[in-house]
Structures are given as structure tokens and as C-alpha cells.
Amino acid sequence: MATKMLMPKLSDTMEEGVILKWRKKEGEKVKAGEIIADIQSDKADMEQEAYDSGVLLKIFPKEGDGVKVGAPLVIIGKEGEDISALLAESTSAAPATLKQESVSVAAAPSIIPVPASVPTPAAVPVVNGDTRLRLEADSGGQTRIKASPLAKKIAQEKNIDLRTVSGSGPFGRIVKADVESRSGTTTMPRKVLAPLQTKEIPLSMMRKTIAKRLLESKVTIPHFYLTIEMNMRRAIDFRSSLIEITGTKISYNDIVMKAVALALRENPKANSSFMGDKIVQHGRVDVSVAVAIDEGLITPVIRNADQKTIAEISTETKELAKRAREGKLKPEEFTNGTFTVSNLGMYDIENFAAIINPPEGAILAVGTIVEKPVVENGQIVVGHTMKVTMSCDHRVVDGAIGAQFLQSFKRLMENPLVLVL
């Protein structure tokens, strides 16, 4: 008997998927478990398997179509089987496929069209190797110098020939500053930059979901923020020793992940989620790590991070980040974390506040290590410090709970040998 295969819900937040590629054509035989299509969900690209064996009697959406969860994908049955009843069901139902239309300026009349090119100013003559003001002929055939009235007045008072002055205004126009600096060094020629182009980029399924979830998080979750600074001198030496001993390129983020996991064990109330009519204090420490990919941000999860060594965390994080950028993560690898770490230190960001990834109760934003004077034993010395900011859901994590977590985290980072004991 022919069966209709529907668009599955490939992640907990998925509402629609896009057909990237059909692996099979209508009329071809398929086996249960065989890959028939590549589908883009709001989190990653997935391979879709056939649920039954038989012949692919009907394919509903085309490549590039967006399909709502629960909408028909294909009909699989016996060769020559009558599927008119199933087709009638699909026809009577409301359309659930949304063609991914390319956006263009011509298709959007409300958008002001951008000129294909901008007028190029006439060539600027060069005098003694220096760019000089362009001279124009007026209606009487006389040469006219482009200069502001104030610049002309100052030039007349100081007896300066404007033909020898380099203009820094629009299209080489001489302004007040050009004349006043005439007695000094010659100004450098202005570099003309190519005009930029306006682009419209359609939202991917992932970017749509990121926009929706972050808006919901910021609007519905009462955020508050706690920032703490720590001395990283011992952590720097600790990392160097780990790399030398293990032969693995340990990052500061790997150390941060381990310290976060142990600090959550010490402060289990910070490892909680608000679930409507109750607070769930998790009996597991699954730390998510924010990974930037082309289409936005995804948070692979290090399961039981408190039970793993720093080297194990490092290896697993690198593998998950690699597959995240390739779009090959499975849903169970980026969902159901209990706490998130977001690190922008590699971009020289000293301090920032992140948006909570619901239903988690907090997220830790990690900044870069800064070299600056610090006081040690009453003496000012060159030190290395790092700031972190904890964004807390005030329904779950009170100020004291967040502060105690950060105290534990700071103690672990400033005494990193504890992390391997």
C-alpha cells in the first residue's frame, strides 16, 4: 500500500525545511533507510532517509522549495499503484511549500534603485609630482578654480595662488584648511575608493531561527549581568605546560570550559532552567560552546564536561566545531545544553554581554587576555588579566547565585592546577 512521507521535525525549533537536493527521481526504486534527499533545517543540513521500500511514485516539492513540517515530501508504493486518493488529499490541503525566491531591486518597488555607476570626476592634473586642483572652464571660457568662498578670501589676504593649492574637499574643491596649511608641507593626494554596492541577502532557515529565538530570549527573559576580572598569569603558564606535556594544542577556551564545568558542580543552582511552573536544577553538566559559522551561530554541546579532562574537551570541541562548519552536526549534538560559553577573546574583544540561549539559565561571555599594570604584593608589575560577563535569567539565577558561581570560576582560573587534580 502506498504511503505518504511527510517533512519531519529535524530539530526542536524547526518549523520549515528547504530541499537542497533530491538523491532519487520519480519512478526509481528505493529501500527503507536509503538517502533520498538533502534537507536544510534551521540548524544544519541533514540527509533524509526513506521510511519504506518501494518505488518513488511522486515527489511534491522541487529543489530549493521551503516545506513546512508535516507537509508531504514523497509518495512511496508499488510500481503502477493508484495514488489518486493520496494526491487528492495533498491537493485539498493548504499549500505548505514556499518557493525560495531570489530578492532583487527590480522585484521590490519600495526599494530605491541604486545607480549602476557614479560619475567619475575629471582627471586631476599633477604639478611637481603632487595632485593639484582641477581647473574648469566657465561659460565665458575663463578658467575657474573650485574653492569655497572662505578659502578664496583667505588666499587673497595671504597672497596665495590657488592654482598651487591641493584641494581636499569633494572632487578636489579647495577648503579653508587647505589654504591655511599652504605654508606647511604639501598635502597628500586623496585616494579615490571604488563605490560600494548594496546587496540584499535572503535569510537562510538557520538565520530565521536565530533571529526568532534571540528576540524571544531578549524580550521574555529578564536578563541581568555580572562582570568579574581575574589574574591570568598562572593560567598562561599552565596552558604552556599542558601543551608541552600532552602534545595537544590546548586553547584558553578549553581551560575555561573545564573551569565552568567544575564551578557549576560547586554551584548547582547556576546550572538550572526556568520551565514555566518550576525550576529544573540539572543533574548533568552539559556545557555548550558557541561556534561561528557562515550562516550565524550554533552551540555544540560537550556532554558531562565536568567528568572529562581538558585534553578530551579540547579534542571534542575541535571535532564538533569542524562538523558544525560543514553542516554535519546531528540534532542531539547541539541541543539540550545546561549552560553556554561564548568566547570572543580571539578577536581582541575585552568585554561583552551575550544573550541567554533558552531554556538555559545563564551564559558566560569571555573576553581577551589584556596585558596591563597590576598590583601584586604591594608592587605595580606587568600583569595579564581577563574579564568575563555572566548573563543571568533572573527567574532562575539571583545575583548572589551568579556572584558565587563567578567567584568559584575565578578561583579555578587563578589556580588552574586544581583543574587536573
Write the CB contacts of 145 (distance below 8 Å, at least 6 apart in sequence): 133, 135, 162, 163, 174
Specify whether the CB–CB gap between 338 and 260 falls below 8 A.
Answer: no
CA distances to 10, 39, 49 from 24, rounded to whole Å, are: 20, 13, 11
- 223 flagged as catalytic: no
Q: What is the pTM of this model?
A: 0.63
Per-residue DSSP letters for 253-273?
A: HHHHHHHHHHHHHH-GGGSEE
Choosing from 223, 282, 384, 394, which is the catalytic residue? 394
Residue 106's identity, in one-letter code, is: A
Which cell numbers hold the place of 226?
Answer: 555580572
**Structural domains of the chain, with CATH:** 3-99 (2.40.50.100), 126-180 (4.10.320.10), 205-420 (3.30.559.10)
Scan for cell 550554533, then name that residue.
Answer: 298
- Say if CB 19 and CB 62 are below 8 A apart: yes
According to the model, what pLDDT value does residue 36 have?
Answer: 92
Residues 6+ apart with CB under 8 A from 95: none
Q: What is the pLDDT of residue 271?
A: 98
Question: What is residue 112's predicted lDDT score, i.e. its pLDDT?
Answer: 34
Instruction: Identify the pLDDT of residue 171.
Output: 66
pLDDT for 138 equals 44
Rg (CA), the chain: 31
Residue with cell 568585554: 351
What are the start-end ranges of the E strands in 114-238?
Answer: 126-127, 130-131, 135-137, 143-145, 223-231
**The pLDDT value given to residue 102:** 37
Q: Is 234 left (phi over 0), alpha (psi -120 to 50) or beta?
A: alpha
- Beta strands 97-99; 279-281: pairing state: unpaired
Binned average pLDDT, 10 residues per bin, the chain of 421 residues: 86 84 90 88 81 89 89 89 83 52 36 39 40 43 70 84 80 80 58 86 86 92 97 96 91 97 98 96 97 89 97 96 90 94 96 96 98 91 96 97 98 96 83
CB atoms inside a 10 Å sphere around CB 108:
11
Q: How confident is the model at residue 2, as a pLDDT?
A: 86
